[in-house]
Amino acid sequence: MVYRREIDGLRSFAVLPVILFHGGFALFGGGFIGVDIFFVISGFLITSIILEEHRLGQFSLLNFYERRARRILPALFFVMLVTIPFGWWLLSPSDLRDFAQSLVAITVFASNILFWQESGYFDTAAELKPMLHTWSLAVEEQYYVLFPLLIMAAWRLGTRRLAWLIAAIGAASLLIAELQLRSDPTAAFFLLPARAWQLLVGSLAAFVVLDWPRYPRLLEEHRVACEILGAIGLAMIVGATFLFHDRLPFPGLLALVPTIGTALILLCSTSRTLVGRLLGFAPLVGIGLISYSAYLWHQPLFAFVRHASVGEVAAPLMLALSGLTLLLAYLSWRFVEQPFRDRKRIKQSTVFSFSIAGILVFSSIGLAGHFAHQSITDLRFRSIDPALRSLYQDRDTLYDERTRVVQSFFPLADQPFSDDPETRKILILGDSVSGDLFGSLMLNAPLFSGLEIRRMALDDPCMPDYEQVLRSGEMPSIRDDHCRRSIERLNESNLLAAADLIVLSAHWAQEPGDRPHLGVMSLAETLAEQGREVALVGLLAMKDAASMDFHILQRGLSVEQANEYAYMTLRQSRIDPPNDDIQALAARVPNIHFLDKYALFCDDLKRSCTLYDETGRLLFSDSVHVSVAGAAHYGQRIAAAGWFDL
């Protein structure tokens, strides 16, 4: 293949936005599309190599995997090795266990699957996961395993039919991505079936460049058109970088913008075009050459500094870390990547031996971290002041205790309301966060005399479906059996009809493009239109309080300092979008009320959030669920705030 400087320059347009996006710079709100650019480039280059070698009769699956191992594994293993001591010192016990699991997943090319499965209530905030970025490497590695096999199996069809087959698979993948955005957006983001189309767009571009006889002539005959198309491609990438944001539904049809933009540059921008010459600018090419190492280094650097910091990391420091990322990237490119790519210095057998050894070593370290979690925790606690060690409870213990206490009240939760006209009847609907609310009220039952409080589980995805029940009076077709059973139980009870106040409480999701609180708000508005009194409980997301607790004890912070630390971290939790939406709805519709959970735990004037009670007990078991001590505090504060005196 002829070397194209503009492709390395294009890589700089991929890696720099990703780094600055993960660095928290709002200007680069769509910087995550850098990964999409990398996918298209990878698909283009890999397909180009395979096509050329097949045409020459020189393709070898063994040689192909050798090149991939030389390209990917040395720098990856080096970064993993460096991160281990920092993870040991800076990560809380539960986060260290998650980190250990990620080491195993990376070595078996499955970290995207791990991070997809980890998403949920107990998910450490994305910016705090040192190896989260390896999900995209796993997607590419899975593609590297499958795509050459597809080419080998279908080569006899001829390149034209093969290209159509790839186009069909790509179209199916795009359809999967768009459909999964509605059913499982996290899977759409992380997993190969919804991402393969972006790699295959690059593959199709390679078929055009290498297998279309008229292509070189068209470049010459239509120079102006190529200039325009290349400029459009670059504008699509730049526009997506600055105009997209992480609340958009992505990937899916929106991902066509950076994907097609990258393909247009690969097809139309050569060293003889204006965009090609721009991308061939030496500094851009230099960053592109080290882009793989830069991508590997940036996330661990940012994550560990965030773990080490009390509160939000200042923008100047994040900018300095971005510069340090490029310095480390150059060093690992120069002294790790380059030597391993030199076939004269390092033979094929050495590459495979090194790869197998690395996989075994890091898998062993990761498995040890997972299975010896308690022993490692005990060992690491020696760094904590002995007087403080007894205060620590890990996330799982706190959550298990909370679950036992909260669920002990559940036999009372769905009992029918009485006929007593003197009591005010409160119905709580929602997910496990509503279980927290119900348990907190029951723990403080003497403070709520005169109220009858009931609760039924109804997860976020079920609430928009229930809106259909209210509007039509008929049971809609619900594919989710859990939702169907929940709605049927609610309809069969007298709870909804008899309630004086309906309280909706849930973990309003914060995943990019995932805003189920909009459906819940629609349900609230429907109830209000029927003359019902409705209250929506705002979001309080304390990141991972149990992880914060470890750092607080490790630093020996006072309770006052710990509460300030909690405030700093909570303000990074992006609670405002759903709370703002709910408050606006409550202001617009008279029968809808906003119950501010945040105000029960936090004071903006004091810049402090109550993370501990006066006896030093942690009030949260994870990012959104209260602990047993927190449930007592929650109920007392609700009574003091007069939530149900509406």
Greatest mean pLDDT among 477-486, 557-566, 623-632 = 623-632
The more confident residue out of 614 and 258 is 258
Rounded to whole angstroms, the Cα distance separating 624 from 638 reads: 17
Instruction: Name, in order, each residue with C-beta under 8 angstroms of 500's C-beta and a sequence gap of 6 or more.
Output: 424, 425, 426, 533
* Residue that is written with structure tokens 């003359």 in the block: 531
Give me the count of residues in the chain: 646
Residue 511 has pLDDT above 50, yes or no: no
Q: Where in the chain is the domain with CATH 3.40.50.1110?
A: 395-641
Please report how many Cα atoms fall inside a 13 Å half-sphere around the Cα of residue 122, on the Cβ side: 14
Which residue type is seen at 166? I
Q: Are 94 and 128 in contact (CB under 8 A)?
A: no
Task: Residue 223: count other Cβ atoms within 10 Å of its Cβ.
Answer: 14
Cα distances (angstroms) measured from residue 447 to each of 338, 442, 443, 527, 638: 69, 9, 9, 28, 9
pLDDT at 615: 75
pLDDT at 81: 97
- 383: confidence class by pLDDT, cuts 50, 70, 90: low
Instruction: Name, in order, each residue with C-beta under 8 angstroms of 615's C-beta and a sequence gap of 6 or more.
Output: 629
- 380: confidence class by pLDDT, cuts 50, 70, 90: low
Instruction: Name, in order, each residue with C-beta under 8 angstroms of 501's C-beta and a sequence gap of 6 or more.
Output: 424, 425, 426, 427, 533, 534, 535, 644, 646
pLDDT at 423: 92
Strands (E), 37-104: none
Q: Are 173 and 142 in contact (CB under 8 A)?
A: no
Q: What number does CATH give the domain 395-641? A: 3.40.50.1110
Residue 290 has pLDDT above 60, yes or no: yes
Give the mean pLDDT of 192-196: 96
Instruction: Name, in order, each residue with C-beta under 8 angstroms of 476's C-beta and a sequence gap of 6 or more.
Output: 465, 468, 469
- 400: confidence class by pLDDT, cuts 50, 70, 90: confident
Residue 459 has pLDDT above 60, yes or no: yes
Helix (H, G, I), strand (E, B) or coil at 149: helix
Residue 476 has pLDDT above 50, yes or no: no
pLDDT at 378: 67
The dihedrals phi and psi of 602, each to the nearest 5 degrees, come to -130, 150
Structure tokens at 472: 């039509």
Residue 477 has pLDDT above 50, yes or no: no
Least confident among 58-67, 148-157, 399-408: 399-408
CA nearest to 204, candidates 281, 284, 263: 263
Give the mean pLDDT of 584-608: 87
* Residue that is written with structure tokens 């045409």 in the block: 55
Give the mean pLDDT of 390-401: 69
Residue 478 has pLDDT above 50, yes or no: no
pLDDT at 502: 92
Helix (H, G, I), strand (E, B) or coil at 296: helix
546: exposed, middle or buried (Cβ count in 10 Å: 0-12, 13-18, 19+): buried
Give the mean pLDDT of 287-300: 97
Give the mean pLDDT of 329-334: 96
Least confident among 105-114, 259-268, 406-415, 427-436: 406-415
pLDDT at 350: 93
Helix (H, G, I), strand (E, B) or coil at 455: strand
> Is the C-alpha dihedral spanning 372, 374, 375, 378 positive or negative?
positive
183: exposed, middle or buried (Cβ count in 10 Å: 0-12, 13-18, 19+): exposed
Structure tokens at 331: 């060093």
Whether the link from the prior residue into 251 is cis, omega within 30° of 0, is yes
Cα distances (angstroms) measured from residue 363 to each of 138, 356, 374, 425, 473: 15, 10, 19, 55, 55
Least confident among 76-80, 99-103, 573-577: 573-577
The dihedrals phi and psi of 589, each to the nearest 5 degrees, come to -110, 115
Residue 561 has pLDDT above 80, yes or no: no
416: exposed, middle or buried (Cβ count in 10 Å: 0-12, 13-18, 19+): exposed
368: exposed, middle or buried (Cβ count in 10 Å: 0-12, 13-18, 19+): middle
Structure tokens at 201: 């767009």
pLDDT at 581: 79
Mean pLDDT of the chain: 85
15: exposed, middle or buried (Cβ count in 10 Å: 0-12, 13-18, 19+): buried
Q: What does DSSP say about strands 592-595 and 534-537: parallel, antiparallel, or unpaired? A: parallel
pLDDT at 412: 81
Helix (H, G, I), strand (E, B) or coil at 603: strand
pLDDT at 612: 80
Give the mean pLDDT of 44-67: 91
- 461: confidence class by pLDDT, cuts 50, 70, 90: low
pLDDT at 634: 93
What would the DSSP string read from start to end of 501-559?
A: EEEEE-----STT--THHHHHHHHHHHHHTT--EEEEPP---S-HHHHHHHHHHHT--H
- 467: confidence class by pLDDT, cuts 50, 70, 90: low
The alpha-helical segments, DSSP class H, found in 244-334 are 256-268, 274-279, 282-289, 291-308, 315-332
| pLDDT single digits (tens) 145-169 | 999 999 999 988 888 999 999 999 9
pLDDT at 610: 84
pLDDT at 95: 82
**Helices 93-107 and 373-380, packing angle to 10 deg:** 130
The more confident residue out of 566 and 67 is 67
Helix (H, G, I), strand (E, B) or coil at 167: helix
Q: Are 636 and 594 in contact (CB under 8 A)?
A: no
- 200: confidence class by pLDDT, cuts 50, 70, 90: very high
Rounded to whole angstroms, the Cα distance separating 476 from 472 reads: 9
pLDDT at 381: 64
- 389: confidence class by pLDDT, cuts 50, 70, 90: low
pLDDT at 121: 38
The more confident residue out of 586 and 480 is 586
pLDDT at 122: 39
Residue 465 has pLDDT above 70, yes or no: no
pLDDT at 276: 93
Least confident among 243-247, 265-269, 300-304: 243-247
Rounded to whole angstroms, the Cα distance separating 573 from 623 reads: 9
Residue 189 has pLDDT above 60, yes or no: yes
